[in-house]
Chains A and B, each alone.
Chain A
Amino acid sequence: MTVIVDLDLCQNHGQCVYAAPEVFAFDEDEILTYHPEPPQSQHDKVRTAVTACPVRAIHLVGGP
């Protein structure tokens, strides 16, 4: 699974950080950072993050 976040769409709603805190976080400048290749154990949480994002900025490519 590869995670791609459209940072032009992202408006810091923070829902992905709540859903999958090991994958998504904000840095000190309030910019979203994320793990583009999360381990298998995180995949369910990442899928939750995808549906929790109100601006649909998170996309998954390939992988199971």
Chain B
Amino acid sequence: MSPLRRVVVVGASLAGLRAAEALRRSGYAGELVLVGDEPHLPYDRPPLTKQLLTGGWRPEQTTLPVAPGLDVTWRLGVPAGGLDVSAHTVHLADGARLHYDGVVLATGARARPWPGPTTPAGVHTIRGLDDAAAVAETLPRARRLLVVGAGFLGGEVAAAARAIGVAVTLVEPRDWPLLGPAGPHVGRFVAALHRANGVDLRLGAGVRRFTGNGRGELTGAELTDGTNVEADLAVLALGAKPNIEWLAGSGLVTDGGLVCDEYCRPLRDDGRPAPHVVAAGDLTRWPHPLAGNELISLGHWSNAAEQADAAAQTLLQPDTTPRYRPVPSFWSDLYGVRMRSVGLPHLADTSETAEHDEANHRLVVTYRRNGQLVGALTANRTSRLAPFRAEIQRRLTSMDPSPLPV
């Protein structure tokens, strides 16, 4: 059986929790320490931009269930400060040193901050529970919310605000919402949804600067197209940055994310995996055959869950674990319209609308790269996704028959 006696999981969100659960489910009976920089027990992020903002849920309702038999030592509210892979030690910011036989790196990502000078009070990002709770508290009293960035997160924040009757201006520098991740067909569909729900959608415009009053409170923003927006609350939805800075000096390769192989093993500078170290979730980048084995990074719920499972297996069975080669899936809910996707639509060089029923807000779009299916996205048509997913799965399975790690 496993020689591991102490496993440290760094990161106490979905990936960290799922890795701990997978270790226990696979029979690991040693000590298990979960380190988290937030004071909260693991919580679920999808509701933060939905039920929490509309006031349907209280913050504590986002807490993820922890199985009674998990038997974990929690180290919450303490960020990790460093990793020494040769000494098998995690350094915590409070000075503690945790020796490990195996370590799971799952420190996730954080909201990309405003790149300019300081912003007036009232400009927020949403990534964690406390961020979302702060926005949720002021949102019902806001005269107008400005959302910067019409990606999935920005779109959901705008939709949540409209659901409780708050006026919204949504600003997106590109020509359509979601243009990068989902292409122009979906972009037009989502733009129409926002406008039908009363959002003042400004496409092709960014924020040049925020404006404030004499008390330092937000009054609005000047946009790059020369127009102005009045707003007393703003949410920046500019994407995420991986939490990799704490790994500086560890000898692990960080390049826009923690670079891993297909077995969820972070690579050292010499290109070899570091022994007894695995990683999962939003901080990772790893080669995926759908992307021609280029490194990809997925900030998605199901990837955090599935990669954590795979990483735990690699830690316990380093010689017999198959490659982590998922068909990714992702979802977003906008004004009650269920957007669901499989594969990697952002890789496509062409996309095609297979079904569009405007009255019922139904949409099916397929994505191809070099003529081969790489993804599909539906709105209110989840029933259509399974065959596309199966086609991608078949291709992944046929690519090369799961060699074992070396």
Contact = CB atoms under 8 A, between A and B. Distances in A.
A2 to B, nearest CB: 20
A13 B65 contact: no
Contact of B329 (A11, A14, A27, A30): A14
A26 B340 CA distance: 14
Interface in A1-43: 11-15, 17-18, 21, 25-28, 30
Interface stretch (B81-89, B248-256, B259-267, B383-391): B383-391
A54 B46 contact: yes
B302 A14 contact: no
A56 B44 CA distance: 11
B382 A51 contact: no
Main secondary structure of the interface of A (DSSP, over half): loop
Interface residues of B, number: 22
B46, B65, B327: residue with the most chain A Cβ atoms closer than 10 Å: B46
Interface string B169-204: 000000000000000000000000000000000000
B156 interface: no
Contact of A17 (B18, B305, B381, B386): B386
B288 interface: no
B386 A56 contact: no
Nearest to A26: B383
Interface in B317-357: 327, 329, 331, 333, 338, 340, 342
B380 interface: yes
A25 B384 CA distance: 10
Interface in B372-400: 380-383, 385-386, 389
Interface of A: 11-15, 17-18, 21, 25-28, 30, 51-52, 54, 56
Interface of B: 18, 44, 46, 65, 301-302, 305-306, 327, 329, 331, 333, 338, 340, 342, 380-383, 385-386, 389
